[in-house]
Amino acid sequence: MKFRDLLRLFGHRVWFDFEMLRLASGEAAESVHTEVYRWRRTGRLIELRRGLFVLAEPWRKQIIQGAELADPIYSPSYLSGRWALRYWKLLPPMPGLEYSSVSARPARTFTNSFGTYSYATLPRDLLFGTTIFPGAEIFDGATCSSGVEAFADPAKALQAGTDKRFLQDSIRRASLPRIALAEKALLDLCFIEGGEWDTARLAGLGLASPFKDLEPATPIPGPGILTARPGIDPEKLGAMAERSGRPRLIRAAKAFSKLAAGRGSRGAQDAEAPRLPWRREEP
């Protein structure tokens, strides 16, 4: 396989794997390994993890956000923990890129030129409380549209335009990466880091806006638009902790409620002051 064939076949994609390359080339696995090795050595290909690649910068046709790669690198998983809390602007930004995710799979860490991707193991019953990653748009809408249009059998049954639109939307949304909601990201962090989470330990996290205030909680999807800080709703956090059925997480949620109540009363006193933003602002 020539590099120009690779560009033709996978230039439009965010990532591709070794099996895709091997099948598309029709060559023996050994030959494909050699070619991949050469492309990597000459800087044309970046290996995200063993057998998973993206094209390097001049050849890549898409702008890739590192967070979009978290799920493909170790699927199924979703972004959570400290990275998600930073994304929701509840923790201050830190130098260095470490994308923290959770998965039911064994814990792993991968390092590549996009950053460090760490995956913590979460029991399967704790995999809930996620939303579509708002900044991501990895799906090629044109392909999706033509696919549904060309569909043979069920399309007859789904003639109505609304159904087609629903299907297109469903296929697109199913392919988007996911991120934990602010409350779930905090619970996941409590679970992953272990130990007892009392008010002192929670306060030590340095959460910028620990509880929900007037700004909207729902993410606003769109390229480059980050949601306004959603804050953490103590009630929602409590409900999620109850759903998890873990006494330690329930205690952590109660401690958080106490912390939020404390800060809330202080916040009410501060409300008369001219400006006291919840968000920690850059100097």
Binding site for another protein (CB under 8 A): 9, 13, 19-20, 22-24, 26, 72, 76, 78, 103-105, 124-125, 127-130, 139-140, 143-144, 146-148, 150-154, 156-160, 163, 166-167, 170-171, 173-175, 178
Q: How far is the CB of 23 from another protein (least distance, A)?
A: 5
Residue type, 115: G
Q: How near is the Cβ of 85 to another protein at its closest, in Å?
A: 20
Distances (CA, A) of 219 to 230, 252, 266: 8, 25, 28
Q: Closest separation between CB of residue 260 and another protein, Å?
A: 26
Token pair in block for residue 189:
């962090």
Closest to another protein by CB, 180 or 259: 180
Shortest separation between residue 229's beta carbon and another protein, angstroms: 24
Q: Which is nearer to another protein, 113 or 146 (CB)?
A: 146
Q: Is there a contact between 242 and 224 (Cβ–Cβ < 8 Å)?
A: no
Of 129 and 231, the one with the shorter C-beta distance to another protein is: 129
Q: How far is the CB of 235 from another protein (least distance, A)?
A: 20
Nearer to another protein among residue 28 and residue 225 (C-beta):
28
CA count, 13 A, side-chain hemisphere, 46 = 19
Q: How far is CA 65 from the centre of its chain?
A: 10
CA pair distance 67, 245, nearest whole angstrom: 30
Q: In whole angstroms, how close is the CB of 8 to another protein at the nearest point?
A: 12
Q: Which residues contact 261 (CB under 8 A, 6 or more apart)?
A: 234
Q: State which residue, 152 or 214, has the beta carbon closest to another protein.
A: 152
Q: Other C-beta atoms within 10 Å of 134: how many? A: 19
> Which is nearer to another protein, 17 or 198 (by Cβ)?
17
Separation CA 77–CA 101 (nearest Å):
6
Helices (H) and strands (E) in the chain, counts: 12, 9
DSSP state of 180: E
